Structure 1
Amino acid sequence: MEKFFGVKFLKSEYTIANGRIDSLGLDENFCPVIFEYKRSINENVINQGLFYLDWLLVHKADFKLLVLETFGTDASDKIDWSLPCVICIASDFTRYDEHAVNQMQRNIKLVKYKKFGKDLILFEHLNAPKVKPDLTEMIVPSKTASNKKRSEKTFLQQFECATPKWQNIYLTIKDYILSLGDDITENQLKLYVAFKKARNIA
């Protein structure tokens, strides 16, 4: 997981009330990641992943406890719920799968794998989700306006407070990074923006 997707492994076969999540992890931006593996073409792994994602958002305390037990307090305090992700891995997807994911506006990634003998495997990222973060997760409680530290401001607050000159510099850099490839996504998190392929590039 960490080598190919930049995700630290938490647990596999994680049992919940109405099912079992194939694998759980935490990405390099401390966002929760669900992995679902599709063994046959008729499995509806996307709906399954979506169900597990909704379950996770309702049971944040359970996930935080798992992170606490596995990686400790520092990691559990950094969990960012603004952009959780589902990664569906299969030997193939139908065109209907890709269309459905693009319509959902959720952070669901389709990854196709192909094995070459015993030693080589190819991972092909079929989509680059364009999703907006959950803005309710980006509200940071403040003490007083005069007492607010820079580190307490969300990315959106910092961007809105920046002068037009700095906003234009940011937008120019953003446009350049996104022009480097169709597989690059902009992940707007609570405190910053991460530009990613399989892993962060900026």
Structure 2
Amino acid sequence: MTTKVIESVSDAKIMELFLHGNGHPQIIHASLNETLREVFEKLNSVPHEGLFVFVGESEEAIHLPNEDADIHEPADINLSVESLGLFEHRHIHISAAHRVEVTVYFNGGNHKRRFSPATTIATVTTWAKRRFHVDPKDGADLILAIKPSEEHPRLDQHLGELIEKGSCELAFDLVREITPQG
């Protein structure tokens, strides 16, 4: 992914970042030398105690599918945008949940894992297929459906965007995507 630099003023690159909370992400602007706290102060939205800030997207479950939990830890907002790697990662996640406990149900069984709220549905789907030992060819049309609504979240949505306020749990069914014929 290419980072969009929108302005360069006296060697201070200003770039677009994506701020995720509950709901749709917000586009914000920051320079590499600003601390994340300064970026939040400009927005009048310094996270209060009890909120966690994550940088980047967690993909640990893909590489360590048998672990019980991600190790993706919250960021220190007193560090600079550059030292946090935001020029590359571009995503900032604010969540009241340190971890989201996810249960995926498939073929009468289930698997659980505690994920970083910065984990995408694409990563959870890949993890679930690996945990259920689904052949990649046979499982190409398997997707996640939120229980009990059976809503199909987008692959690029983050778990932190999907949890209800005050909750830190999500449940999904791993189901075949139905493609309309006709």
Q: Report the TM-score, using the length of structure 2 for normalisation.
A: 0.26
Q: Report the TM-score, using the length of structure 1 for normalisation.
A: 0.24
Q: As a proportion of its length, which structure holds more helix? A: 1
User: Bigger relative contact order, structure 1 or 2, given CA contacts below 8 A and separation 6+?
Assistant: 2
